[in-house]
Amino acid sequence: MNRLWAPWRMDYISGGVPEGCIFCNAPGAPPGSSLLLFSGHLSMVMMNRYPYNNGHLMVAPRRHGAEMDGLGAEESMDVLRLINRCVAVLKDVFKPGGFNIGLNLGRAAGAGIEDHIHWHVVPRWDGDTNFMPVVADVKVMPEHLMETVKKLRPHFDKP
């Protein structure tokens, strides 16, 4: 029997939720355990702890807020700039065939974190979906999250 190991998902499965906002807490997290890839003056990029695919990133404004109409023009432009940078970095490092990019506003729309607006940047490859999520309710992740962080972080350290 083959086993798929994804120990970081146990918190999600068991309902464990970190205290406070993951985006607001990210800049102060210990570097070795942090999924934060970049933190600028107005916005940030971090790995998704419960990714749809390897390299699944989240882009969020630094300022806490849940609604699009709460974003200023400068914040909106900075988020878009970072989304573009995420696409460029992921193309360079993982060479995906495409991307899903979007956000979920409110729980009814699928937002797992309702109180801090954020965009998802999900790299996609031909054939990256298979029977495992449908039949076994399991998503196969070929690389540990912290290995992905190690690969991506240097690309965000560059200006």
The answer to whether 118 is a known catalytic residue is yes
Which is it for the CA torsion 69, 73, 75, 77, positive or negative? positive
Q: What contacts 89, CB < 8 A, 6 or more positions away? A: 152, 155, 156
Residue of 5, 28, 10, 47 whose CA lies nearest to 147: 47
According to DSSP, the residues that pair with 119 across neighbouring strands are 59
- Pairing relation of β-strands 36-39 and 43-47? antiparallel
Catalytic residue among 41, 64, 116, 118: 118
How many angstroms separate the CA atoms of 36 and 57, rounded? Answer: 10
Cα distance from N-terminal residue to C-terminal residue, the chain = 47
- Catalytic residue set: 118
